[in-house]
Structure 1
């Protein structure tokens, strides 16, 4: 039985990098030997204020999609969520910010740390437990949500260098069983046996300017097998990737991903494929959540599309698995932290 806490930063202030088969209990970032590009040690205050952390969760059904994020950038925090109805094309979204991360909780514990955000009558919470997460949203009389994500037993965990002196840690899962319901006005969406979810827990001393593309899906194949996918380019690519496929709860590591899309045509079809030939998918966008912010120190050009995947996946035996009609997300993002 495990009796000691596993930390990401060792006793000499160095980050442990690589893919981790076992949980990393504590992201003890204040112990990191952070330095300038000229090798001058940074202060404890700098280590605190340069550290970023966020958590994003999503739930995907045949007819609807839900996404929620809590982001702590120290100077400011953001909480947002959105709902997309594939049957009607309706989207509801709410995004709130808090200066100096007031009303925000982001514990540096990937397996057990709570995340919360509250502002102007809206409350967002992500509560972890063994094998899953509870997601709660309260936004007045407009939206109420209470969702459980279960079966989170084989996540992808990795830490990789970022820039000259930084690093990023991430813990990701996709294809998790979802239960519970969302009430949006007079609509009530209940999770069924095909509803699946994703969890993205990330943190680190990230590059000052970062740009990435990202894709995820969660659902069930034609034979009922749960499936999840996480692909990205632009982050976590220093000798490793954060790309993974989950089939029936088992995490299968993937190689590099290539995204093809027209940034200036929001209706155009995307294509994403991996260099190992395990993924070749097309994505047709439907709804989009977007944001443009240029506030001197901080900036963001963000587009996250809800849509539909089709194409082919390949399992460990080399069997080709057809994908048709699975819901998911695509993202194009520039950030200045």
Structure 2
């Protein structure tokens, strides 16, 4: 089914969250006014409030991803650039920031997120009319990019979290991309490529895990998740329409995550094989937290369709990523 328009706020006048999947952009996401049974005190929210702003850039030659993450008690960033022709990682770094100082995360997808610490500056800015700007300056990688507006609406998804409280996310499909990416090797023109983003904001459980898949071009795209958020954010963009999908399954060999993945939905509307070409890995153990992160980069082939009784639309070598992430935060 196609999705209803996004509300102006995810909280009703009674403080109850408006759970569901919507098309369009919501205003500020402020969980401090939640009513029971979702209300939590300020100290609990400080340590359980998680936000991230992730942007992916894709051309025929290069795939890059940048993320700013605010965990409440610490912030971090990561960025990488992958050469699709050589299947070679051109740049790959992560960095922690000073708690409460280095990162400023937007309260909604139409605002700005920033990170600044030790020779690294990253900004994701909304510049109006559904367009955005990404700027990254570091010792390893530089990006000056603008993208949007796109032909398809944003996905807004909101739902409850087991052992947490609530969560919301805004996902885009493909948007026209312009700009430049620079590494130690050479400069890469981004004009003619596509960009997509993930803005997420929630009160999550101490232990959180998920599998994720995202692939897009200007005609079709999808976002799939299995784990802490269930099927809440599963959606298909097809010829400008935004369509809800059912629960997703990710079948792959955890001992060999660079082998093929089989991904499908229970509603018989998507069935894809993902073939990895490379991956970003980042496993961390800290005194009070730990994470295991894997993001393979590759292509999806298979089929999607707008409804179980509709014809299948073939998907051939659609660029994107999968992800397997487990955190104690």
1:47, distance to aligned residue in structure 2 (A): 2.4
Q: Give the conservation status (yes or no) of the 8 Å contact 1:175–1:229.
A: no
Task: Report deviation, 1:164.
Answer: 4.2
Give the deviation of 1:173 after TM superposition.
1.0
Alpha-carbon distance in 1 for matches of 2:240, 2:190: 18
Cα shift readout 1:252-282 (whole Å, capped 9, x = no counterpart) = 2211111100111133111101112221111
Task: Name which of 62, 66, 77 aligns with 1:64.
Answer: 62
Change (3 A) 1:23 1:325: closer
Matched residue SS, 1:47: helix
Determine if contact 1:301/1:333 at 8 Å carries over to the other structure.
yes
2:328 is aligned with 1:336: yes
CA distance in 2, matches of 1:309, 1:85: 17
Structure 2 counterpart of 1:247: 238
Secondary structure of residue in 1 paired with 2:279:
strand
Query: Could you say what secondary structure the match of 1:197 adopts?
Result: strand
Name the residue aligned to 2:4.
none
Task: Find the partner of 1:198 among 187, 196, 214.
Answer: 196
Q: State the match for 1:228 in structure 2.
A: 221
Which residue does 2:290 correspond to in 1? Answer: 299
Aligned ranges 1:252-291 → 2 under 5 Å:
252-291=243-282
**Do the aligned partners of 1:227 and 1:247 also contact (CA within 8 Å) in 2?**
yes
- Report what 1:17 is aligned to: 19
User: C-alpha distance in 1, partners of 2:258/2:162?
Assistant: 33
Structure 2: distance between partners of 1:310 and 1:22:
28
Whether the 8 Å contact between 1:30 and 1:48 is mirrored in structure 2 is no
Distance in 2 (alpha carbons) for counterparts of 1:249 and 1:147: 23
Give yes or no for contact 1:218–1:229 (8 Å, CA) kept in 2. Answer: yes
Show structure 1 runs of 5+ residues with no match: 220-224
1:166 paired residue number: 165
TM-score normalized with structure 2 length: 0.90
| Residue correspondence of structure 1 range 140-159 to structure 2 within 5 A | 140=139, 142-152=140-150, 154-159=153-158
CA offsets 1:111-139 (integer angstroms, 9 cap, x no match)? x2210111211111100133122111111
In structure 2, the residue matched to 1:26 is 28
Structure 2 unmatched ranges of 5 or more: 1-6
Matched, 1:187 2:182: no
| More off after superposition, 274-283 vs 9-18 | 9-18
Structure 1 length-normalised TM: 0.88
